[in-house]
Amino acid sequence: MSKRIAVILAGNGVYDGSEIYESVITLLTLDQKDAQVQCFAPDIPQMHVVNHLTGEVAEGESRQVLVEAARLARGEIKDIKEARVEDFDALIIPGGFGVAKNLSDFAVKGAEMSVEPSVLSLVQGFKAADKPVGLICIAPTLAVAIFGEGVKCTIGQDPDTAAAIKTMGGDHVTSEVDEIIVDEANKLVTTSAYMMAGRIREAASGITKLVDQILTMA
């Protein structure tokens, strides 16, 4: 039987949502492995909207995370509150600043961060059910809040983000762009992707390995 994978998206676009290349590589690799995929996102307002042409915040503009994430999922997406752990074998969260702005407040609070309640509840449900979780790019900043102190993960080599993970109690492992870090005890797989990648094929190298490992563990 094909594996059933839940994918959590954080909007649409690297600066205020899910990183598009990372999301597409994840979904493509899952499809190539004949996995059944369902995308989810919280039905909440984005922290803010960023003009991706200028990189500036679009003042006075607001967007919903679920509505924007639907662009990435071609409309095949559900409110995260509809997700049930028992329906899936594993879960993956691609990166993008939306993870640090919409799925959590890491972008504002750093090591004092908290995870959006519906996201935290679902991912902790996978942990409790002993089902594997994959966190890509900046998403490993959620790891300590989900799995507790001592969890092993990577965001690559960014010193400030790595320091924040360590401050929260995580065991950050320095890694190369094409590497994955596996915490066997927590069934957590992480990779740096665009925290380090300079081109799409570099991001794909780690993400493909992460997906393969998640499917093996599922």
Active site positions, annotated: 137
- Alpha-carbon span 114 to 120, nearest angstrom: 9
CA distances from 200 to 11, 124, 178, 207 (A): 20, 30, 12, 11
How many residues are given for the chain?
218
> Residues with Cβ < 8 Å from 202, sequence gap 6 or more?
177, 178, 196
Closest CA to 106 of 67, 160, 55, 70: 160
- Measure the CA–CA gap between 71 and 149, rounded to whole angstroms: 35
Taking the C-alpha atoms of residue 181 and residue 73, their distance in angstroms, rounded to an integer, is: 27
